[in-house]
Structure 1
Amino acid sequence: MDQPAVLVTGATGFVGRRLVDKLVDDGVDVRAMTRRPERYQGPATPVAGDVGDAESLAQAVAGIDVAVYLVHSLDHDDFEARDARAARNFARAAADAGVRQIVYLGGLGGDDQDLSPHLRSRREVEGLLGSAGVPVTTLRAAIVVGHGGISWELTRQLVKNLPAMIVPRWTSTRTQPIALDDVVRYLAGVIGREETFGETYEIGGPEVLTYLDMLRVAAEAAHEKPVPIVRVPVLTPRLSSYWLALVTDVDVVTGRNLIDSMGTEVVVTDDRIKDIVPGEPLPYAEAVRRALGERLSEGDDI
């Protein structure tokens, strides 16, 4: 495919705005879909669209070759139903407009695992996006580490705000965090690549860590004193979400939906993406340093 016209949904979000910047820098014709185009201040061409409103999508996808889907509703109790409805709307609109590829950022986790509602919803959205016939390229990731990311903010604020942490068993679950820079690199690298149409790739950083490991590394990078850890055998997702709401600015609903997923081990088992988009991903400590550095550059403390 020649240089494609690309629509980025969620263009003002954590991943979307960085992807838009990269694509524009690479000379790609980019439309940034947002519910409030009059407020958009990024480098792409803003276009109105809301995945929850099927009628609003036709104009957004008209003339588009590739659509990047970066939308979710984790801050709602009924996020599974919302995300399923949104994916169906977008799939139909993309098919009607002749879109050639949808690129989707989903969640890691084996098809044979007992997935949390969050991860199960991500997996359902994968299928629904392709339900109208447009080939979907899926990149499955665990925690994305970068300034402004909700999972990273949980880590940063816990390290900063707590003199000691009472942690539940889910903090010993293994995961494979990935730097935001690498997520953007992989997303950009599969856009318009016909050999990726209909394929699913797993993406991750070079290390498999527990959530407790991640907290310790983040504390080191932030030059904080080591945080004493006290493990408790039982702390339900609901109780954990209230605990997070007390010591971070993450709301209870989002916290609970994220924590539900943290009992599921999510590690890369297939690294075929490196054949498509060569290059070694950043170590977790470097991803943390970059996230903290970006925060400082915006005038906030770490």
Structure 2
Amino acid sequence: MQILVTGATGFVGRRLCPALRQAGYTVRAMTRRPGDYRGAGKATYGDVHDADSVRAALDGCEAAYYLVHSLDDPDFARRDAAAARTFARAAAEAGLRRIVYLGGLGDDQDKLSEHLRSRREVERLLGRGGVPVTTLRAGIVVGDGGLSWEMTRQLVERLPALITPSWGRTRTQPIAVDDVVRYLIGVLEPPEAAGRAYDVGGPDVLSYNDMMRRAAAVQGRLVPVVPVPLLSLALTPPVSWCLLTPAWLSAALWLLTDVDVQAARALLGSMANEVVVRDNSIRSLVPFEPMGYDRAVLAALAEHARAGRDPVPA
């Protein structure tokens, strides 16, 4: 089976392509710069905002993974919706049998952030073309180079303490990127997965505060994470609460990290939303034991070290 992977050079895509090859699939890696592509599979030009290029990239494929987003653009929601419409039409015209999409966790009954609302809209729009869509909904994906993880890793490494408001107590269910890839491949062919959305997460449900504490502990560091109620801000000196508001946190990310601040700002708005698994049915369809958070952190740090940037934690 020939598979198109959009976002082949991205955080998840560059791991998915070789895993698909290893699983016996023929991989076509869609990228806007095929001449620069050095990953697994055959590079092919494609831009989700260019319908003709998408149709050409899909020609001869039976299924596709949709792993692209525009979070680095202030108008990401509109751009992502337009791209999803374009891809859905092209997929229908190509006679595609399945689209697999990686979206975001979050309770539809909650007041979702703009980012999570956009993920849901893309999910719906991809399905309007008539091609069955299988969606995996994930929260924070832990792995070297992942935006959410890089924000956590770099802030924990570079700050002596973290002071958080109420969002620090919000629950999330992080998952290792290797486990996401395993789920993505596992849902590709089963007929019962067509048209379904599955929640995916690791075994640990943690607050953001706990995630940062444990990420620091895995690195052998003690970084105090101090929750401060918003009502007490007037009683605390500015230096102690500079990381509390999204504006201040965005500034800190710009000063202290190398993450894309526009994309990070889109994710920060989702911190008030609880992102945990509500339905575990994926576990019976793709049975394996996902790795725990501490092990996922260690794997991410080890991969970062292998790239020659940091020592492997003891």
TM bracket (short chain): over 0.9
CA distance in 2, matches of 1:127, 1:94: 14
1:128 aligns with 2:125: yes
TM-superposed CA distance for 1:246, in Å, is 2.2
TM-superposed CA distance for 1:84, in Å, is 0.2
> Does the aligned pair in 1 maintain the 2:213–2:224 contact within 8 Å?
no
> Does the aligned pair in 1 maintain the 2:17–2:29 contact within 8 Å?
yes
Deviations 1:225-282, CA, capped at 9 Å, x for gaps: x112333334332332222222222233122111100110011010000111001110
Structure 2 equivalent of residue 32 of structure 1: 29
Deviations 1:173-208, CA, capped at 9 Å, x for gaps: 100000111100000001122210000100000010
Structure 2 equivalent of residue 264 of structure 1: 273
> Does the aligned pair in 2 maintain the 1:91–1:130 contact within 8 Å?
yes
Pick one of 229, 235, 239 that aligns with 1:233.
229
Deviations 1:17-50, CA, capped at 9 Å, x for gaps: 1010101111211100000111110120111000
CA distance in 2, matches of 1:189, 1:32: 19
> Does the aligned pair in 1 maintain the 2:213–2:225 contact within 8 Å?
no
CA distance in 1, matches of 2:261, 2:30: 28
Q: Which amino acid aligns with 1:278?
A: P
Q: Which amino acid aligns with 2:228?
A: V
- 1:15-26 correspondence to structure 2 within 5 Å: 15-26=12-23
TM-superposed CA distance for 1:140, in Å, is 0.3
Structure 1 equivalent of residue 284 of structure 2: 275
What secondary structure sits across from 1:299 in the alignment? coil
Structure 1 equivalent of residue 169 of structure 2: 172
1:12 aligns with 2:9: yes
What secondary structure sits across from 2:74 in the alignment? coil
CA distance in 1, matches of 2:50, 2:249: 34
Q: Which amino acid aligns with 1:257?
A: A
Deviations 1:77-118, CA, capped at 9 Å, x for gaps: 100001000000000000000001000000001111110000
**How many percent of aligned residue pairs carry the same amino acid?**
60
1:43 aligns with 2:40: yes
Structure 2 equivalent of residue 197 of structure 1: 194
Structure 2: which 5+ runs fail to align?
231-243
Q: Which amino acid aligns with 1:14?
A: F
TM-superposed CA distance for 1:172, in Å, is 1.1
Pick one of 101, 115, 119 that aligns with 1:118.
115
* TM-score in terms of structure 2 length: 0.93
What secondary structure sits across from 1:6 in the alignment? strand
Structure 1 equivalent of residue 241 of structure 2: none
CA distance in 2, matches of 1:36, 1:11: 11
CA distance in 2, matches of 1:252, 1:96: 37
CA distance in 1, matches of 2:212, 2:250: 17
> Does the aligned pair in 1 maintain the 2:173–2:201 contact within 8 Å?
yes
What secondary structure sits across from 1:292 in the alignment? helix
CA distance in 1, matches of 2:275, 2:225: 23
Aligned length: 298
> Does the aligned pair in 2 maintain the 1:245–1:255 contact within 8 Å?
no
Pick one of 250, 255, 262 that aligns with 2:264.
255
Distance 1:33 1:104, change over 3 A: same
Structure 2 equivalent of residue 150 of structure 1: 147
